[in-house]
Amino acid sequence: MRQHRTFPRLLGSLLLVAAAGISSVGAVPGGAGAAPDTAPAAVRPLGEVVPAPASVKPSGAPYALTPATRIRVDDDSREARRIGAYLAAVLRPSTGYALPVTDDDHGRGGIRLALGSRDRSLGDEGYRLESGIGGVTITARTPAGLFHGVQTLRQLLPATVEKDTRQAGPWRVPGGTITDSPRFGHRGAMLDVSRHFFTVDQVKLYIDQLALYKINKLHLHLSDDQGWRIAIDSWPRLATYGGSTQVGGGPGGHYTKAQYKEILAYAASRHLEVIPEIDMPGHTNAALASYAELNCDGIAPPLYTGTGVGFSSLCVPKAVTYDFVDDVVRELAALTPGRYLHIGGDEAHSTSHADYVAFMDRAQAVVAKYGKTVVGWHQLTGTTPAKGAVAQYWGLDGTGAAEKEQVAAAARNGTRLILSPADRIYLDMKYTKDTPLGLAWAGYVEVQRAYDWDPGAYLPGAPPSAIAGVEAPLWSETVSTSDHIEYMAFPRLPGVAELGWSPASTHDWDAYKVRLAAQGPRFEALGIDYYRSPQVPWPAE
């Protein structure tokens, strides 16, 4: 049974909770391991964190949360207060502590969240976490950095802290200093909400799971042959008809603009940027079925609920096609606070090459007209990528040298790359021939295979500076519930997060698999249905 976290919760029997907490504090005057009632494992190694922090310096005694612990934030920062409230909501149900968020930033002890560090080395997303017997301080230059530091703090506490009912504790944070910032700015996950539709709540749940591992981009694949999932006022049938089914023929669904904004706001509260994708000129059957005039022959095809690809194309020579593109991009750009708009461009097998090049030229110009930067699947590099465009590589290790060189040449020419090699980090690939969900066209992708490669050196001839980062797509032909999402994403997704975040110098499967194993109890505490890969030394149940 899944056990969704619900927070905030009412505190249970407060007196009992407080008494239990005080006695545990009383039992640890000397810090780590001093209490006779305390298993050594109660203090986790500093640095047993995924993704691996850039610098870990253990020292001194742990900090123990108590019923009196306060979360102290700078008095002039709404962002820090909001992150403090988020942390309190994570910690309250399991600890049973009140954990008031206070702006008493001159007091001592407790958990201090400090924004506005002048330390430039922390960058836009980095943080420093200092822990000792007197308290924990997380310092960052930006709210995103503070939020990522909070994710590290969660992982330094026992896994049971993630449960949504009161647990025994003790709640100790190992002593020392972590100084951390990401290797890449783009650490993404893509969710295909077209092949199967996922509700706002399902997307929010995935966002929470992504945030745990410092993923900072959520790419939503909003349209495909099987379903159009975002309301477009000027072409209403796209959503109401084109969104009315899915693979296998279920009812499908779509997001109203209000619902989509709710997803955006939730993602922003977890410091993820949403990158919307409208896939064009192929993968467009849902649109073609909704509006006959978009078809070259003027006849709307039926809705499609199978899993084939490459059979649909917008009608490149028709003027109305560009009215459609302009309207859709305009409305989507207006909804999008982020910089990027993804226009697909993959598997346009029913579009001639000349038409494809002509279409991508025009579509890219429309994106620029509405002030956004183009992202496209790497076939975009076979056209003329717009200035600043980003190409998402989804080939295989064994993709031919000519295709790889086309992508690398674009990278040398200024096109930035997001790496999503399909036989490495497509989360919809089966782990083995025996795992129940997923496809296998790119091969089987076990946990080690997903982790064991270097994004900086992956594509021959592409300058490392052109690599924006990594992104793990989850296509949903076989995936239709949150349990399915979790089974395919976990435990591969934390490995992708680590490739995106951690310095290359920390890359080591044998060390990683041990840190990953320690996430197992955390997945369980969070109710995440994960694949218990035999490659990972999970703790005994």
Q: Tokens at residue 334, please?
A: 């207006």
Binding mask 463-482 for ligand ACM (x = CB under 6 A): --------------------
Instruction: Tell me the Ramachandran region of residue 280: left when phi exceeds 0, alpha when psi lies from -120 to 50, beta otherwise.
Output: beta
- Least separation in angstroms between CB 108 and ligand ACM: 53
**Residue whose CB is nearest to ligand ACM in the complex, by number:** 346
Question: Is the preceding peptide bond at 281 cis, omega within 30 degrees of 0?
Answer: yes
Cβ proximity to ligand ACM: between 198 and 393 the closer is 393
Question: What is d(CA 99, CA 140) in angstroms, rounded to the nearest whole number?
Answer: 21
Cβ proximity to ligand ACM: between 119 and 347 the closer is 347
Q: How many residues bind ligand ACM (CB under 6 A)?
A: 4
Determine contact, residues 418/390, Cβ cutoff 8 Å: yes
Check if 524 is active-site. no
Cβ proximity to ligand ACM: between 346 and 446 the closer is 346
Determine contact, residues 247/274, Cβ cutoff 8 Å: no
- Least separation in angstroms between CB 380 and ligand ACM: 11
Question: What is d(CA 292, CA 386) in angstroms, rounded to the nearest whole number?
Answer: 30
- Least separation in angstroms between CB 84 and ligand ACM: 40
- Least separation in angstroms between CB 247 and ligand ACM: 15
Helix axes 143-156, 200-212, angle to 10 degrees: 80
Helix axes 143-156, 78-95, angle to 10 degrees: 20
- Least separation in angstroms between CB 279 and ligand ACM: 8
Cβ proximity to ligand ACM: between 74 and 477 the closer is 477
Give, for 173, the enclosing helix (H) or strand (E): strand 172-173
Cβ proximity to ligand ACM: between 128 and 378 the closer is 378
Cβ proximity to ligand ACM: between 135 and 276 the closer is 276
Pick out residues in 368-407 that bind ligand ACM (CB under 6 A): 377, 394
- Least separation in angstroms between CB 394 and ligand ACM: 4
Catalytic residue chosen out of the listed positions 347, 405, 446, 541: 347
- Least separation in angstroms between CB 422 and ligand ACM: 6
Q: For residue 485, which of 162, 209, 186 has the smallest C-alpha distance?
A: 209
Q: What is the 3-state secondary structure (H, E, C) of 357-409?
A: HHHHHHHHHHHHHCCCEEEEEHHHHHCCCCCCCEEEECCCCCCCHHHHHHHHH
Question: What is d(CA 215, CA 275) in angstroms, rounded to the nearest whole number?
Answer: 13
Cβ proximity to ligand ACM: between 184 and 394 the closer is 394
**Residue 2 to residues 165, 202, 483, Cα–Cα distance (Å):** 14, 13, 8
Pick out residues in 313-372 that bind ligand ACM (CB under 6 A): 346-347
Burial code (b: 16+ CB inside 10 Å, e: under 16) for 124-149 equals ebbbbbbbbbebbbbbbbbbbbbbbb
Beta partners for residue 192, in sequence order: 221
Beta partners for residue 176, in sequence order: 58, 131
Q: Cα-flanking dihedrals φ and ψ of residue 228, to 5°?
A: -105, 120
The amino acid that residue 352 corresponds to is: S
Query: Active-site residues: which are they?
Result: 347
Binding interface with ligand ACM (CB under 6 A): 346-347, 377, 394
